[in-house]
Every structure is written in structure tokens, then in C-alpha cells.
Structure 1
Amino acid sequence: MNDCCITPQPGDNGVHIAIIGSGGAAMAAALKVVERGARVTLIERGTIGGTCVNVGCVPSKILIRTAQIAKLRRESPFDGGITATSPTIDRSTLLAQQQARVAELRQAKYEGILANRPEIDVLRGEARFGDATSLVVRLTDGGERIVAFDRCLIATGASAAVVPIPGLKDTPYWTSTEALASETLPAHLAVIGSSVVAVELAQAFARLGSQVTILARSRLFFREDPAIGAAITEAFRAEGITVLEQTQASHIAHVGGTFVLTTAHGEIRADKLLVATGRIPNTRTLNLEAAGVAVDARGAILVDDRLRTNVPNIFAAGDCTNQPQFVYVAAAAGTRAAINMTGGEAALDLTAMPTVVFTDPQVATVGLSEAEAHLMGIETDSRTLTLDNVPRALANFDTRGFIKLVAEAGSSRLLGVQAVAPEAGELIQTAALAIRHRMTVQELADQLFPYLTMVEGLKLAAQTFSKDVKQLSCCAG
């Protein structure tokens, strides 16, 4: 066993920070730490870059865009004047294109940067805590190494959760990782799950030619405003996707190359099965007990808004914590953790955190829903604008969805926005800034918005608090 201890080298400020992981949180932290004069040992057991660039955001959005193009070639609102065609899908070629872009971004944004930063030592292996000031790293090439640290950031991400359905573990089911890397398209894909990953991939595979059945234990987006799930369910069913609400599989078998899902409503047979029921923190192999780091029932590391754990010199950021699992939250957390580990003071404020689901129409939210506000004892005044009132949607001949504004009763301060609309993700940051700056709906309504943009829908929705927008001219101020 190699028990060499890594310690700070001459020329740095004497602070040595160990970072476990190499994804969005880890990289943001590492770069900020060295900017502030400390040295870093970054430890990675797998592929550099973490989930987002390798098996998450980047490949999934490429797949979703591919599927959208296939759908538009097959059908659009303008087929009366533009001849529609039925595209031939070459999945293996599309996969090669997808993975080439993944490799390009991994090299540009992770591997290449690390190679050019001598202040960051990259150690390939799996880390576990020896105590609150040291890690034991089982090296990929063999042997072990002790890494002593002044501070440590845990940024190990999360992995797909697998529900304990009888028979499932004995089948060749997919998680999102296998689905995104598949060289073939199944004739029939069954999807267990009802949230972001499940619905995004379900629609993508349907648009590429698979028959898709979604099994939702409750309903789609059951944690969100009910109108969101209802709108996406309607859009999916219009595309031929089968959405089975209040449906669970009690047993799963794989017989003769076919998945057989037993439910209370009968059997469902499919060529492939995607299990997308959330993600669990990658903390079980870290030996957190040796350092005394506290976790919740899911194994998520408990942190405060400074990214501090209950152990003073150990911080955590990203999907391995009890914070929302979004890469931009992870990166922001990593940067703030780095500042706090090097003598600064920075908090992560999530009160106006926007979210986007890349279905078509997209789902975008920020701030409080009506239900969340009421749980906090806040009285609300809300308005919902359907997209047949938005000129951009009318010009696109696509009026699926709505924009809902939640305001505080009395003050009219904007508290939250929920939108289901094509390109809803492009409007939600404007809503986030309005909430961040504590704008009222009238102040939002008084802003200048470019005509024939989807974001103009925010202005129109704000105007509904005091006007009937159906009675306004097309670009009324």
C-alpha cells in the first residue's frame, strides 16, 4: 500500500483543499479556490466531468432536439403549405453525433482546463474518509493514498434511483444513462416515472418513432401546480403517448426479450423499460461516519446556505446534498463553497431559482406556487393566461399551454410564475429577475416587452390583474 500523504507545496498560501468529484460543483469550486490562492487535490473515480456533460444535460438535450426536428419534418401546423415527410431515423449515426459533441465539451470544459491548471492535482481513484482531516483514496491504478486536507468539499453527485419492484433487478432495464446511449429505438418503450427525466425521454423516444407508455404512480408532475401535469398529459396524449395515471407495476419480468409489467389494470408488454424515478446522492461509499458528517434518510448531505456541513472544515455542494438537483445550482454552490473555504463569506440564495423541463411544450417555474404560498401562510392573488392570448403563440399556430402569475394579496408583489409553453425556458429568467427585485405585477405590466416574443406573455399575464387583455390592441402598452 502506498500511504504517501499529499500536503501543500511551496508557493501556495498554505491551504490545501480536497475536492471529491469532477462535475459542475467540483469544477466551479476548484477554479475559484485556486483563484483565491489555495491548492487543490481533485479526486475522481470515474469519467471527468460528472453527470451533466457525460450522461445528463448535454446528451439528453441533444436527443430532445433531434426528436423535435424529426417531429417537425413529420408534421407541423403549416403542413397545408409545406409538404410533410416521414423521416428515416438512423439512431446509430445520431448517437455518434451526440457522443462526439459530449466528448468535445468534456475536453473543452473539464479535461482541458484541468490539464492547464498546475495548482489542481487530479487523483484518479475512489475516496473515503479516514477521519475529519484525511481521505483514503483507492487508486484506479492500484494501491491507496492518504490525502490530508485543511478543508474538503464533497461534490460526488447522484445516481439513478431504482424503485424496489419485485422482479425488476433481474431484468435488463434502462436508467437514463442506458437510454441515452442506446444505438437502437425500441418498438415499444415503457417508462416508470412522472417527473423531469421520465417525461423528457418519453416524448423524445415517441417522436423518434417508439410507441411509449408512461406509468405514473400519481399523475405527471405531481409535486407541481396540477395545471402543469394536466397540460403536459393533454399534449402527450395528442401525440399518441399513453399516459397511465394512478398506475404502478406490482411485478416486472423479462420473458423472451419482452418486458412484462403487471399492474392493477392488466399487463403491459414492452421491448424496453426505462426506470426514471429520481436520483439518489452518491454518498454511501464515502465512509461519512468516520468524519462525523450528517446526512438525511436518503443519504443526502445536510448543508446550510453557506454549503457547510455539521463538521466545520467539511463542505458539500451539488446533487449529493439536500439542495435542488440542478447543475446550475451545483455550480453556484461550488463557487460559494470555495469562497467560504478560503476565508470569505458567501451564501446561496435559492428564493428565485428558475427550473425548466425540456418537453414540448416546455415547463418552466420560479418562485412559489399557490399551494406553497398558502403553506407559508401567505394569501395570494393569481391569474392564468392561456396562450391563445399571446401573439407569438398565435403566429406560431401553437397555443398549447398557459402562463400563471402568483402574487401576494394586498401588496401585489410577484411571488411565483408557472408556465407551460413552447420555449417557456426562454421567458422564465425574466420572471426570476422580477421576483428577485420584488416587483409588483403592475410594475411588470408596465415594462417594455418586444412584440411577438413569447416572453411578452409575462406582460400580458401581469396586465390581466387589472385589464381584460382580450380587449387590448395587439401590442398595447
Structure 2
Amino acid sequence: MDTYDVLVIGGGPGGYVAAIRAAQLGFSTACVDAFTRDGKPSLGGTCLNVGCIPSKAMLDSSEKFEMIAHEAADHGILVDGAKIDLSRMLGRKAGVVDKLTGGVAYLFKKNKIKSYHGYGKLLRREEGGWVVDAAGTEVKAKNVIVATGSNPRALPLAPFGGNIVENSGALEFTEVPRKLGVIGAGVIGVELGSVWRRLGAQVTVLEALPGFLMAADPAVSKEALKQFQKQGLEFHFSVNITAVEDTGSGVRVTYTEKDQSVTAEFDKLIVSIGRVPNTQGLGAQDVGLELDERGFVKIDDHYRTNLEGVYAIGDVVGGAMLAHKAEDEGVAAAEIIAGQAGHVNYGVIPWVIYTSPEIAWAGLTEQAAKDQGLNVRTGQFPFSANGRAMGHNDTRGFVKVVADAATDKVLGVHMVGPNVSEMIAEAVTLMEFGGSAEDLGRTVHAHPTLSEAVKEAAMGVGKQAIHI
């Protein structure tokens, strides 16, 4: 029986990063992962194969088409008859995925990580570690890291199949739907809705909650909603879905809105109402691995489960279901196993929505800070006053900085606008080290850059903004 210091169950962002870090720390390491794409084993999990990476590839392609077809003339570039080749667009997306998943396989080889393709199941604890069924082969590991991720949550009225799809199916349409329905106005729903709206679909988003992106700062969500509605996305809030029928040629959805019953017909329906922990085939009940009432693996502050030598990270433990959160937890868990002080600062994890305009935030909203009893000051700067944004012909949105009124410590930064997915990293770095708004405002930023909006917003906390 092969024996390892660390066995990781799951090869997504949390799992493969945990395996690589464990190997770097000198542990003999293996990873068992069941993900298959196009009938072949493919490391990288949902994120690389059917989630974060392919969706961003499609977002970029559709945004380029939107720019060429509808915005190039503003730059003095005249393009007549721009059209899409969807099969080629999907092929480019697949190529990006192939490169990245192949890169993970290369990193496993480089770091001498043994890879098993299939499910990993905890069998029993013996002297020296855990016996695990690794894709049909029994192996032993001193430490096991569970990183099995999550699966799309299905709507009971609308099981996936046919014309009703989740995120992966929404990235594989072979033709642009004429009418596209989206249930769920969260990150996935808005991103995928944006892709197909740009490519020509009429998109309707149905959301059960009374508002849009209610986890974001209200000023950001209000601005984002306004921009998406201007683009043609149709939103309905406080909706209760009462019936869903796949008719074969499309999908019929019946819902109530403001006490009125409405029936809508769509060619395709994307259901994006969240994700559920994936413990399929793990053997949790057989070995007594504790799960909470929602099915997430229970852990302590050091990623330890109730079973000695078994750790868990990523989506399967709950919290923010973000690939970068899982990655950092993977590093931390491996370092804790090595006796080091692995740590993740959950207070400054960035959230990003890759729409146009992009949305990004980290830390507390203004209201959340006030709810904690803090007195705050804020600064806000619009991209309409930023020279680089004018040059880009994209002046939508703003940057908002929330700081403690007593200490000037930055508590949160919230952005909606061009390229804010990249700009949020500066704010995260500052908050990681407990920086102040003045620190940020007095840091020299290159001119002209979009990031000057961050500097100006920070200066605005002390009412010292220059360009507004």
C-alpha cells in the first residue's frame, strides 16, 4: 500500500494549491480528483474547467464584440457588419482551459505529486494514518485534506437537463438564445447573462430577493443595476417561481411578482441560485466526519475536522465560495500540518464580478461598519473625473473608501467601473497591513491611470480630494 504524508481529496483551486504547497514543504503528497472534461481527467476543478476561467474567457470575447460592433465608432474606428463565429469563440475558450488545466498537471509532475483520477473515500484510521480509497486503490496518508468543493444548487421545480442549465451548460450553447431566462441575480447569473446579452440574446433575470447585490455597498449595487439596465438586461425582484416546464423547444416559467402571476417563455433557462457542498462519495457518515445542518464539513480555526489528521478547506467548509479563498486556505492548511502558522485574513478577501462595468469590493460596507458601532468617514471619486477613464471612453462608476473616523484606518473599499478587478488588490494590500486612508491618499500613483481614482477617493475621506 502506497503511503503519503499528505493526501488531498479534490483537485480544484483549494486542492491543487494545497497539494503543491505540501510538496514544497517536503511532504510526500498525492491528490485524488474525479473531474472529467471531454471524457478525460482534468485537474483544476469547477473553476478552471467550467467556472471562473471559461466564463471570463467568454466575458472577454463578448465584450470585445460589443466594443467592435457598438463602440468602435466613438474612437473613429468604423466597422461594418461585425458578426460572431460562436464555434470559434467556444474553441478559444476551450483552448484557454486546456492550457491552464495542463499547467496544473505540469506543476504536479514538477513537484512530484502523485495524481489519482476518481473519487476519494475515507475508509478507516489505522496506526500511521488514514486508509483512503483513492479511485479504487487503497492508500495510506498521515494527513488528509478534504477539498471537494461544491455543486450548483438545483431549483426543485427545475432540475437540470435539456433547456434548463447551470453555469457549465450556459457556457456551451451552440447558438445564441433569442430569449434567455436567468433565475438568480448573483455573480454567476449576472456574468453569464451579460455574456449572452452582448452576443444578441434578450435576457431576463428573476431574483427572489428584494434588491440587487445586497451584499455589496448600496451605492455600488445601485450604480451597477443602473448600468446593466441601460445595457438591456431586464431584472425582476421579489419574484416567487411557481412553475417551470421544459417544453422541448424552450422553457416556460411561471412566477409571481407584486401579487401578479406572470408566465414567461424562454429558449434557454440558466438557474444560478447558489451552490451546495460536495461530499459525494467521501464516506463522511461511515467514518463519523461531522457535517453541519447544511451539509458543510465542520472545522475549527485551523481547518481541522473532528477526525484526527483530517482537514478541510474551500467551498466544502462554507464561507465565501471563492477560488482565491480556497487557494489561501489550501496554503494555510498545508503550513499548519507542517507546524507553521498558516493563516487567512477573512476580513479582507476581495469580491469581484467581471461584468461591464466590473464590480469589486473588500472589507466592510459603510452600513456594516456602522452596525458594528463604528463612526466612519467616507470618500468617493467618480471615474467621470479620471483622465485615463476618459481616454478609454468608459467613465462609468466610482471608487468609495470607508474609514474609521477615529483612527483613519481603512475598513472597506468598494468599486464599480473599468478594470476594478485589478485595482482592488491595492486596497486589499493596504487593509492587510492596517493602513489608513491618508496612507493610501499620500501614496504616489502614476498619472494618468485608473488607479488615481483610488487615491482621490482616499483623499476624499479627509476632504482633500483634488480633482473633484
Query: Is the TM-score greater than 0.5?
Result: yes
Q: Are 2:280 and 1:276 equivalent residues in the alignment?
A: no
Aligned to 1:195: 186
Which one of the candidate residues 242, 256, 265 is aligned to 1:264?
256
| Distance verdict in 2 for CA 1:396–1:116, change over 3 Å | closer
> Cα gap change, 1:167/1:348 in structure 2, threshold over 3 Å: closer, same or farther?
closer
SS of the residue aligned with 2:7? strand
Please, which moves more after superposition, 195-204 or 432-441?
432-441
The C-alpha deviation readout for 1:312-332, integer Å capped at 9, x for no partner, is 311112221123222222122
- C-alpha distance in 1, partners of 2:300/2:73? 51
Is 1:204 the counterpart of 2:198? The answer is: no
Counterpart AA for 2:15: A
8 Å CA contact 1:135, 1:146 repeated in 2 = yes
Match of 1:354 in 2: 350
| CA distance in 1 between partners of 2:27 and 2:184 (Å) | 43
Query: How far is the alpha carbon of 1:468 from its aligned partner?
Result: 6.4
Q: Helix, strand or coil: the match of 1:203?
A: helix
5 Å-filtered alignment, 1:95-114, equals 95-107=90-102, 109-114=103-108
Give the Cα separation in 2 of the matches to 1:84 and 1:388: 27
Q: In 2 relative to 1, CA 167–314 (structure 1 residues): closer, same or farther, beyond 3 Å? A: closer
CA RMSD of aligned residues (A): 2.1
Q: CA deviation at 1:65?
A: 0.3
Contact conserved, 2:191 with 2:353, CA < 8 A, in 1? yes
Question: Which of 64, 85, 89 is equivalent to 1:90?
Answer: 85
C-alpha spacing 1:135/1:270, structure 2 compared with 1 (3 Å): farther
Distance in 2, matches of 1:38 and 1:436, equals 29
Aligned residue in 1 for 2:173: 182
Between 170-179 and 358-367, the greater mean CA deviation after superposition: 170-179
Q: Deviations over 1:91-149 (max 9, x none)?
A: 11111121122112211x2222334444x22222212222355344273xxxx433322
Separation in structure 2 between the aligned mates of residue 169 and residue 64 of structure 1, nearest angstrom: 23
Farther-moved stretch of structure 1 (168-177 vs 336-345): 168-177
Judge conservation of contact 2:72–2:79 (CA < 8 Å) in 1. Answer: no
How many residue pairs were aligned? 454
Deviates more, 1:223-232 or 1:445-454: 223-232
Mapping 1:13-32, distance limit 5 Å: 16-32=5-21
Equivalent residue, structure 2, for 1:43: 32
Show the counterpart of 1:154.
Answer: 146
Distance between the aligned counterparts of 1:112 and 1:399, measured in 2?
A: 41
Q: 1:293 aligns with which of 289, 293, 296?
A: 289
Letter in 2 for 1:174: V
Q: Is the 8 A contact 2:123 2:133 kept in 1?
A: no
Return closer, same or farther for 1:378/1:444 CA change in 2, 3 Å cut-off: same
Q: Which residue of 1 aligns with 2:331?
A: 335
Does residue 190 of structure 2 align to residue 222 of structure 1?
no
The 3 A distance-change label for structure 1 pair 85 and 203 is farther
Report the counterpart of residue 118 of structure 2 in structure 1: 125
Please give the residue correspondences for 1:30-69 in structure 2 after superposition, counting only pairs within 5 Å. 30-46=19-35, 47-69=42-64
In 1, are the aligned partners of 2:11 and 2:45 still within 8 Å (CA)? yes
Question: Identity across aligned pairs (percent)?
Answer: 27
- Judged with a 3 Å threshold, the aligned counterparts in structure 2 of structure 1 residues 169 and 80 are, in CA distance, closer, same or farther, namely closer
CA–CA separation in structure 1 for the residues paired with 2:186 and 2:131: 36
Tell me the amino acid that sits aligned with residue 212 of structure 1: V
Q: Taking structure 1 as reference, are residues 447 and 285 closer, same or farther at Cα in structure 2, changes over 3 Å only?
A: same
Distance in 1 separating the partners of 2:110 and 2:27: 16
Q: Give, in whole Å, the separation in 2 of the partners of 1:80 and 1:106.
A: 37
For the residue of structure 2 that corresponds to 1:150, the secondary structure is: strand
In structure 1, the residue corresponding to 2:434 is in which secondary structure?
coil
Contact 1:306 1:348 in 2 (8 A): no
Unaligned 5+ runs, structure 2: 36-41
Contact residue 134 and residue 146 of structure 1 kept, 8 A = no
1:175-198 per-residue CA deviation (whole Å, 9 max, x = no partner) reads: 111111222211111011111111
Pairs within 5 Å for 1:140-151: 144-151=136-143
Q: TM-score, normalised by structure 1?
A: 0.89
Q: Does 1:417 align with 2:410?
A: no
CA contact (8 A) 2:66 2:199 kept: yes
Correspondence for 1:318 among 301, 314, 320: 314
Where 1:309 maps in the other structure, the secondary structure is coil
Could you tell me how far apart the structure 2 residues matched to 1:61 and 1:442 are? 34
Q: Give 2:179's aligned amino acid.
A: H
Q: What is the DSSP-based 3-state SS (H/G/I as helix, E as strand, rest coil) of the residue aligned with 1:181? A: coil
Residues 36, 441 of structure 1: CA spacing in aligned structure 2 closer, same or farther, 3 A cutoff?
A: closer
> What amino acid sits opposite 1:245 in the alignment?
F
1:278, CA displacement in angstroms?
1.4
State yes or no: 1:398 paired with 2:389. Answer: no
Write the distance in 2 (CA, Å) between the matches of 1:138 and 1:354. 34
- The one-letter code matched in structure 2 to 1:372 is A
Cα deviation per residue 1:232-251 (whole Å; 9 max; x = unaligned)?
22111111111112223211
Q: Tell me which moved more, 50-59 or 301-310.
A: 301-310
**In structure 2, what residue type is equivalent to 1:161?**
R
Using the TM superposition, give the Cα deviation of residue 272 of structure 1 relative to its aligned residue in structure 2, in angstroms. 0.3
1:323-357 CA distances to partner (integer Å, 9 max, x unpaired)? Answer: 32222221221122112223333222222222211
Change (3 A) 1:321 1:167: closer
Rounded Cα–Cα distance in structure 1 between residues aligned with 2:426 and 2:318: 27
The answer to whether the 8 Å contact 2:401/2:461 transfers is no
Q: Is the 8 A contact 2:374 2:404 kept in 1?
A: yes
Structure 1 residue 36, shift from structure 2 partner: 2.3
Match of 2:362 in 1: 366
* Closer, same or farther: CA 154–187 of 1 in aligned 2, 3 Å: same
Aligned partner letter, 2:28: R
- Determine whether 1:73 maps to 2:62: no
Whole-Å separation in 2 of the counterparts to 1:156 and 1:170: 23
1:309 is aligned to 2:286:
no
Give the unaligned 5+ runs of structure 1: 9-15
1:254 aligns to 2:238 (yes or no): no
State which drifts further: 243-252 or 153-162.
243-252
Q: C-alpha deviations, 1:428-473, integer Å up to 9, x for none?
A: 111112212222222222121112211100111122233364xx46
Structure-1 separation of matches of 2:79 and 2:159: 41
TM-aligned CA distance change 1:248 to 1:90, over 3 Å: farther
What secondary structure is seen at the aligned counterpart in 1 of 2:316? coil
